Amino acid sequence: MNEIRDRNRVVIFDTTLRDGEQSPGASMNLEEKVRIASLLEEMGVDVIEAGFPIASNGDFEAVSAVAKRVKASSVAGLARASRKDIDRAWEALKGARRPRIHTFISTSPLHMKFKLQMEPERVHQAIVDSVTHARNLCDDVEWSAEDASRTEHDFLCRCVESAIKCGAGTINIPDTVGYAVPEEFAALIAMLMNRVPNIDKAIVSVHCHNDLGLAVANSLAAVRAGARQIECTINGLGERAGNAALEEIVMALKTRQDLMPYATGVKTEYITKASRLVSTITGFPVQPNKAIVGANAFAHESGIHQDGMLKHAGTYEIMTPESVGLTRSTLVMGKHSGRHAFKSKLKELGFELGDNALEDAFRRFKELADKKKDVFDEDLIALVEDEAERGNDIIKFVSLQVIAGSKGPQRADLELDVDGTVKSTTATGDGPVDATFNAIKHIFPHEAKLQLFQVHAVTAGTDAQAEVTVRLEEKGKTVNGQGADTDTLVAAARAYVHALNKLLTKRQKTAPAALTA
């Protein structure tokens, strides 16, 4: 990564899989992390922080899987300032073509006194020891001063200088609690650029949280003051109010070249796809008025605006929808479309499926085209994403018949295939969704608690597919399941079954004996 020394090049460091996953409920499994990492690599992200290997075996495995898969981007693993953390991170990363150890410790008086209960001198020594140790293992080491924006300047300068002396090639200055404002944060970066004697030997990075809604503004102000790496996440996912949103950073730099003549390596046409993938996997919806990726970000409702747009798009549009990969909803195919056309359409949308997965997806496409007059790109994306990962499922959806309406009781007749045996049941409930979920519990008893049930229409129209997200929690572990269908209740059943399968995989990994529900 240190070859990126062009003065105006800003390194994009994505931490969706690490800081993003720290959002309560945003858990992702190994396959999902690899899918996201592969897309981030394809879109030209420079560094992908894949996780915190010492945090759990799941994190460790995900970091090693991403490390093995990703070739073009650097892959980072987080570690506290201890040999054990750093060794574990290195163990997970060493299969990567471009590994990076990212080690951190708090430097603010508040954190040192109450969180670490360490004197500044011991913290300084820990920085020297941890960076030296990391550098003995890996050529690319990043050091972060947690809570840097509330750290005393003299101490911060001393720590940064020592970290660089010990071999850190990237120095990250986080606004951990989202407290800074742009002028102040830019001044902090300028202060470091002016006062740390060896600062030219490292890339200065920033990592801003969004507690006051200023994460993107602070990151951009920092770049103007000399920072050349920005840490960010897709859709601004992250702890509490989240991190700086990658799509906002990249599009602000691209759109305001007059003020910020800096380049990134991100192919912005991938932004919409990445946003949708992260939202689907985590079950975190994107607010409609969210900059760049919200459903309304490029919609023009008022007559005056529409009139202006017709005369000249620049009147109300500062960037084109195409530049973020947003294509107008296009009619793709009908029920007479063949396998070949289906395959090439999927390829155009960025999906290359193996023979079996393609066959399954094609069968579901035919079923969909029978039910739905117009099949759009969005429908195909939902269908393929719904199909992904289903191959190894222990429980499979077979059929559902529901009696709904105001007269009650609502009733669900359900069939599921459990490990090769089709089982059926009838259940009632407080409404059709409750009846459906009760039926699943009859067939496959379990203790997991429902934490989220969310429905989203994939396209407009009453025949639109519903995309449902279900979040289940069992013994402190949460999983998200997704399902799509023109029938909302079928989509709900598929989503629930998907989440249940994920819990079973999790259980299998930790305690194989617990598989029988």
- The one of Zn ion, ligand KIV, none whose footprint includes residue 146, by CB under 5 to 8 A per kind, is ligand KIV
Give the per-residue contact string, 185-214, with ligand KIV (x = CB under 6 A; - = no).
Answer: ----------------------x-x-----
Instruction: Give the integer Cα–Cα distance in Å for 306 and 362.
Output: 39
- Number of residues forming the site for ligand KIV (CB under 6 A): 9
Site residues (CB under 6 A) for ligand KIV, limited to 95-124: 104
Instruction: Give the integer Cα–Cα distance in Å for 227 and 235.
Output: 22
Closest to ligand KIV by CB, 1 or 369? 1
Closest to ligand KIV by CB, 76 or 472? 76
Instruction: Give the integer Cα–Cα distance in Å for 106 and 155.
Output: 12
Closest to Zn ion by CB, 148 or 490? 148
395: β partners: 418
Closest to ligand KIV by CB, 207 or 273? 207
Q: How many CB atoms lie within 10 A of CB 400?
A: 22
Rounded to the nearest whole angstrom, what is the least distance from the CB of residue 151 to Zn ion in the complex? Answer: 15
Side by side, which strands form the sheet with 477-485?
449-457, 466-474, 477-485
14: β partners: 48, 232
Closest to ligand KIV by CB, 232 or 504? 232
Rounded to the nearest whole angstrom, what is the least distance from the CB of residue 311 to ligand KIV in the complex? Answer: 46
Instruction: Give the integer Cα–Cα distance in Å for 36 and 33.
Output: 5
CA terminus-to-terminus distance, the chain: 48
Closest to ligand KIV by CB, 79 or 433? 79
Binding region for ligand KIV (CB under 6 A) out of 156-164, 168-176, 215-223, 299-307? 168-176
Map tokens 């559902």 to a residue.
400
Site residues (CB under 6 A) for ligand KIV, limited to 412-451: none
Closest to Zn ion by CB, 19 or 247? 19
Q: Are 439 and 460 in contact (CB under 8 A)?
A: no
Binding region for ligand KIV (CB under 6 A) out of 122-130, 170-178, 250-258, 389-397? 170-178
Report helix, strand or coil for 255. helix
Rounded to the nearest whole angstrom, what is the least distance from the CB of residue 166 to ligand KIV in the complex? Answer: 18
Q: 484 φ, ψ to 5°? A: -130, 140
Q: Which two tokens stand for residue 171?
A: 């120095």
Rounded to the nearest whole angstrom, what is the least distance from the CB of residue 240 to ligand KIV in the complex? Answer: 10
Position 241: which residue type?
A: A
Q: Which two tokens stand for residue 483?
A: 């399902």
Among 19, 59, 140, 467, binds ligand KIV (CB under 6 A): 19
- The one of ligand KIV, Zn ion, none whose footprint includes residue 104, by CB under 5 to 8 A per kind, is ligand KIV
- Crossing angle of helices 271-282 and 377-387, in 10° steps, is 50
Rule CB under 6 A: say whether 151 interacts with ligand KIV: no
Q: How many CB atoms lie within 10 A of CB 296?
A: 11
Q: Would you call the peptide bond into 409 cis, given omega within 30 degrees of 0 as the criterion? A: yes
Query: What DSSP element (H or E) covers 77?
Result: strand 74-80
- The one of Zn ion, ligand KIV, none whose footprint includes residue 144, by CB under 5 to 8 A per kind, is ligand KIV
Closest to Zn ion by CB, 149 or 279? 149
Rounded to the nearest whole angstrom, what is the least distance from the CB of residue 132 to ligand KIV in the complex? Answer: 19
Among 32, 59, 146, 248, binds ligand KIV (CB under 6 A): 146
Give the per-residue contact string, 185-224, with Zn ion (x = CB under 5 A; - = no).
Answer: ----------------------------------------
Among 103, 108, 130, 144, binds ligand KIV (CB under 6 A): 144
Site residues (CB under 5 A) for Zn ion, limited to 446-465: none
Among 10, 18, 19, 377, binds Zn ion (CB under 5 A): 19
Distances (CA, A) of 119 to 83, 137, 480, 485: 19, 27, 42, 58
- The one of ligand KIV, Zn ion, none whose footprint includes residue 49, by CB under 5 to 8 A per kind, is none
What pairing do the DSSP bridges indicate for beta strands 170-175 and 203-208? parallel
Q: Are 111 and 146 in contact (CB under 8 A)?
A: yes
Binding region for Zn ion (CB under 5 A) out of 17-25, 262-270, 317-325, 368-376? 17-25
3-state secondary structure 171-227: EEEEECCCCCCHHHHHHHHHHHHHHCCCHHHCEEEEEEECCCCCHHHHHHHHHHCCC
Rounded to the nearest whole angstrom, what is the least distance from the CB of residue 383 to ligand KIV in the complex? Answer: 36
The residues that touch ligand KIV, with contacts defined as CB under 6 A, are 19, 104, 144, 146, 172, 174, 176, 207, 209
Residues near Zn ion (CB under 5 A): 19
